Structure 1
Amino acid sequence: MASPPVILLLVSLLFCIATQRLYAEQAPNYTFVKEASEVSPLQGRFDYIIVGGGTAGCPLAATLSSRYRVLVLERGGVPYGNSNITRLENFPRTIADDRPDSPAQRFVSTDGVISSRARVLGGSSCLNAGFYSRASPEYVAHLGWNGTLVNESYPWVEAVVANVPIVQQWQSGVRNGLLEVGILPYNGQTFDHIVGTKVGGSIFDAEGNRHTAADLLEYANPDNITVLLHANVHRVLFRTRGRNQPLAYGVAYTDNTGSTHRAYLERNTRQSEIILCAGALGTPQLMMLSGIGPAEHLRSFNISVLVDNPGVGAGMADNPMNAIFVPSPTPVETDLIQVVGITPFGSFIEAASGLSGYAGATSNSDDFEPYLGIMSPQIGQLATYPPGERTQERIAEAVAQLKVAVAANNPAALGGGFILEKVFGPLSNGNLRLLTTNVSDNPAVTFNYFADPADLQACVQGIQTIEQVINSGSFTDFRYPQTSTAFLLNLTSSLPINYIPKHTNDSTSLEQFCRDTVTTIWHYHGGSQVGRVVSPTYHVLGVDALRIIDGSTWNFSPGTNPQATVMMLGRYMGVEILREREQS
């Protein structure tokens, strides 16, 4: 018979499993969230129509609903009940799922880098690696935000989604290595952006459950908010007759049956607005489809030009990420990003680890699915087939090959992880252009990685810092003794992580390594920037009753990882809009 401590341990374990399963399967009691096809026609008009229930849209809607009637139109479904979203160990599966109705919509930039955009309530906070870190005070001051309100808005978000991670061996090794090579001071655990090394936050809790921007809807007034799922907005509606400039008054959208609907703003107030929160790809794309953008480009698609603004789709940027894969002789945990080295030269050093099996399966188990954190065959960055040919069967084939390598005890496939660097800014940028007039289709996006020499230099310094960390005494347990950093660079270069033509081999410079192995950390931004497309209060230039509140308005991505600031911005601007109406 089992002893009482053993029984208590088993009960505790079963309770944890049940709790995890409950979180993954049970949605909050959001009575205001409905399928768009089930709510037709909409009753009445709205003070605010928010296009995109994502990382900014959810906190914005929750805030505005405290006093006004709000409609949120989200093109995807809910994250709840999908363990691929809600569980940390399933992170690659969501991004790998590229079915027409999946939460992640894959795209490949014209540069040849594979990426994804969100298609789910909660936006990219449902897909990302979970790291939570605020913007720096300098960033806040540069954008002219009210520092007091910023410092009130972050905690509003953090009370629901942010957690302090439990730092285990791989992350500890990276942290100690960063300190050993001079990325100082050590700032401990903090959400703040401070030069040096720190442990940040995470939207994954201690049990590995993801908390997303959709959770912020718990702040909403259920009597004042309607959220429609699978509502794909394809045009903003404008009135022009007798007006100095066009007035946004509604939107047209389709539901998941293909039926078209319209939603309208309240007519009896001058403050009602449509607010685009569709993200760095979705917002400029929708602006163009609605007639706002470069006139010549719009006319080439027979789109009537409402406002000729060449700034729409301009300034598209993506923080380049480069990584070194480090096979480890010591088994390591499965973890996404927790530790960051914020360097003074414009590069952020982060890490992810774990060649792991789901549900704790061993490498000999049929349930074992090996993956390499944020660089995985399931995601597609380590698969040899191009995106159009990357079927679920071929992904399974790549996973099977990695499983065989594990069983064969191949050092290049054993436990370990990636140490990566991300270039701050960046200074290099490109553009977004339509390929079709179907809002569900991806536009063409060019980021022009490393076009600016300063970005390339920051990458080189970042890779040099990673090499020093790998060779540090603090990292000895996670490095094969005879494995040189030159070998690891060549090993990483051999991985098919993008579609940029590769250069060969032992004599490759770090500059070439950066160009050859560049990939994304999913922090792209721009396309509707302040001064080009919107005012400092995020009103769209040249029209009335239309704002943009999302990362498309930024010239630079904030902090080490932007999701905390995107969520903060939704809350911040919600409060600002409420204050504006009080004072009018």
Structure 2
Amino acid sequence: MSSGGQMGRSSVAALVVASVLGSVICFHVTASPEGVGEHHDRYNFRFVRHARDAPPVSYYNYIIVGGGTAGCPLAATLSEHSRVLLLERGGLPYGNRNVSSSYHFADALADTSPSSPAQRFVSEDGVVNARARVLGGGSCLNAGFYTRASTGYVRAAGWDARLVNASYRWVEREVVFRPGVPRWQCALREGLLEAGVTPDNGFTLDHLPGTKIGGTIFDRRGSRHTAADLLRKAHPRRLTVFLHATVSRVLFRRSRTSGAPVVAYGVVFTDPLGAQHRVYVRRNRGGGGGGEVILAAGTLGSPQLLMLSGVGPRAHLERHGIRDVVHDNPLVGQGVADNPMNSVFVPSPVPVSLSLVQVVGVTRFGSFIEGVSGSQFGIIPMIHGHRRHSFGMFSPMTGQLGTLPPKQRTPEAMRRAAEVMRRLDRRAFRGGFILEKTLGPMSTGHVELRSTDPAANPAVTFNYFRDPRDVERCARGIQAIERVVASRAFARFTYNNRTTTAATIFRRAAGTPFFPVNLMPRHPGDTRTLQQYCRETVMTIWHYHGGCHVGGVVDKDYRVMGVRGLRVIDSSTFKYSPGTNPQATVMMLGRYMGLRILKERWVSKGKDVKH
């Protein structure tokens, strides 16, 4: 989720608004478009190196594939007592303003260059999406909202609640902040309460029904803090990180003894020059047992790498020429889901400052409501040939044509939509989006190999709204958004659509099928119309998960079933996306499982593992 906004030259200007809403003070916050990333060199990570400098052969206790939201805290934790190698296919987030600055948030998602931190993919459903390709993973690309999973989610996952809370706190001390809340977000908060999304939970990191302000990984200067920052906590002499390292397969050893399990003993990765490097698991000394390979490559990367390594559905693997099937498991890549997002653009008669997600309404019927705003930079990607900062994922630049069904979001449609936007009055781009995310979801799909190239995206099908419960929740969420927009609290930021001004601003958009912005549904009282609106305006919120479910692909300790020495620890193990936004729980899981693995190794030696 993103927006553009009118920025001042000063690093921060926070003016307290006279009214105090409960315990929440509304701020007008602006961040400088330049200079907010100047702190990128604050972490002198001497253990981070380029893959081309890696030796042909090396040995480590733990080999972690994927330096993302789970991989970074996992590597930092394991390095406390073991030699750890972290392999990341992308580069550093520091020094890249598209990552570091909230002002340039949309630019990272719109960047399609080979070096972009976001690798675009289009699902088989036709929805444009992106996967992270940078140290820090999705925490380098998201809108920054931070909220924990519910206590019910923790209980259902079978996690130790005490260790979960300690792991959350470990993350939060490094990367989480309380946001300043600008006027538009305050109006959204009051509008949600007026619309019945109660109680008012104020500021909290907990997942609770009602309306709340959550944490953020953007500090008051608008600078992003990511999972990569957690590597500050690593032991600098026990951790090695190789960037631009693309892992092609996990290496397995078969025992000559009949019936003995297959054991993962290393990986092969390639550097940008095409040279191959092998890394082997080194057995721990002193009776601590053997090391492991751990996949933390995400919802797409982990099932893809399992299949490339011979773990997955035999028939599918053999169709792609993978004859050495290590373990036939038809559940690898199955149960993949993406929480559908639908949005309503609310044009504003007054300028609106930049804000990413800060307020969320957690409804009791299975819908989450959030918002992003920006001023006249708005949603248009090009004006007279000049690039404008934009609501990147809502613009033609990323293919999210909200008035066209997914399968019709073609490059030609994108071009025509951009042309329509260029003809609009610039006041049309003042405002913000109110977003609806569907809980669960109940609709699931799958990840399959498209080729045996590890750098290529696999084929992903999410089956948005296949389950009728999902589309019913979406329709109720849109109705809640309509109540927010009609609320007294939000009146300052909405037009009376009967006014001459509003008619002038939007007259060119009326009736065209290529206007790429969702305004309110034309028949809001008709549930069937709302459900159709949901299907035709579906987008991603980048909360995809599944493909390596606990109980299907991995056991409760995240060990891959059917083999030894291999685990998967990332969002691919989730059956549902935790909380309103999953990044907090993914980072927590990296820390949590790191501590669990250390305890397994050291408890038999009588050593204490500190939390």
TM over 0.5: yes
Relative distance call for 1:548 and 1:21 in structure 2 (3 A) is: closer
Q: Given the alignment of the two structures, is residue 349 of structure 1 paired with residue 369 of structure 2, yes or no?
A: yes
1:259 aligned residue (261, 275, 281): 275
Aligned to 1:537: 557
Separation of aligned partners in 2, 1:12 and 1:556: 37
Is there any run of 5+ residues in structure 2 with no aligned partner, and where?
1-8, 14-30, 605-611
Relative distance call for 1:49 and 1:168 in structure 2 (3 A) is: same
Aligned to 2:292: 273
Separation of aligned partners in 1, 2:273 and 2:389: 37
Counterparts of 1:28-427 in structure 2, within 5 Å, are 28-42=43-57, 44-243=58-257, 244-267=260-283, 270-303=289-322, 304-357=324-377, 369-372=388-391, 374-382=393-401, 402=421, 405=424, 408-409=425-426, 413-427=428-442
Q: Is contact 2:250-2:268 (8 Å) kept?
A: yes
Separation of aligned partners in 1, 2:138 and 2:266: 26
The letter of the residue matching 1:39 is A
The range that moved more, 365-374 or 194-203, is 365-374
CA offset digits 1:262-294 (Å, max 9, x no partner): 101003563300000000000000000000000
* Displacement after TM superposition at 1:159 (Å): 1.0
Identity of aligned residues (%): 52
Q: Is contact 1:237-1:249 (8 Å) kept?
A: yes
Relative distance call for 1:398 and 1:512 in structure 2 (3 A) is: closer
The root-mean-square deviation of aligned C-alpha atoms, in Å, is: 3.2
- Equivalent position SS for 1:247: strand
* Displacement after TM superposition at 1:101 (Å): 2.4
Separation of aligned partners in 2, 1:458 and 1:153: 32
Aligned to 1:446: 461
TM-score normalised by length of structure 1: 0.89
The letter of the residue matching 1:202 is T
Aligned to 1:4: none
Relative distance call for 1:368 and 1:310 in structure 2 (3 A) is: closer
Relative distance call for 1:389 and 1:460 in structure 2 (3 A) is: closer
CA offset digits 1:520-552 (Å, max 9, x no partner): 000000000000000011000000000000000
Relative distance call for 1:493 and 1:142 in structure 2 (3 A) is: farther
Aligned to 1:512: 532
Aligned to 1:460: 475
Aligned to 1:5: none
Q: Which has the higher helix share?
A: 1
CA offset digits 1:386-431 (Å, max 9, x no partner): 999869xx999977874653xx34x5x3311110110111111011
Relative distance call for 1:94 and 1:491 in structure 2 (3 A) is: farther
Is there any run of 5+ residues in structure 1 with no aligned partner, and where?
1-8
Separation of aligned partners in 1, 2:321 and 2:383: 58
Relative distance call for 1:80 and 1:275 in structure 2 (3 A) is: same
Separation of aligned partners in 2, 1:570 and 1:555: 17
The letter of the residue matching 2:224 is R
Relative distance call for 1:33 and 1:492 in structure 2 (3 A) is: farther
Aligned to 1:23: 39
Aligned to 1:547: 567
The letter of the residue matching 2:204 is T
Separation of aligned partners in 2, 1:365 and 1:169: 31
The letter of the residue matching 1:381 is Q
Q: Is contact 2:374-2:431 (8 Å) kept?
A: yes
Separation of aligned partners in 2, 1:129 and 1:217: 21
Separation of aligned partners in 2, 1:162 and 1:327: 31
Q: Is contact 2:37-2:100 (8 Å) kept?
A: no
The letter of the residue matching 2:370 is E
Counterparts of 1:544-583 in structure 2, within 5 Å, are 544-583=564-603
Separation of aligned partners in 1, 2:369 and 2:512: 17
Aligned to 1:6: none
The letter of the residue matching 1:450 is F
* Displacement after TM superposition at 1:493 (Å): 8.2
* Displacement after TM superposition at 1:333 (Å): 1.1
Aligned residues: 558
- Equivalent position SS for 2:490: helix
* Displacement after TM superposition at 1:92 (Å): 1.1
Separation of aligned partners in 1, 2:134 and 2:603: 35
Q: Is contact 1:49-1:273 (8 Å) kept?
A: yes
Relative distance call for 1:490 and 1:134 in structure 2 (3 A) is: farther
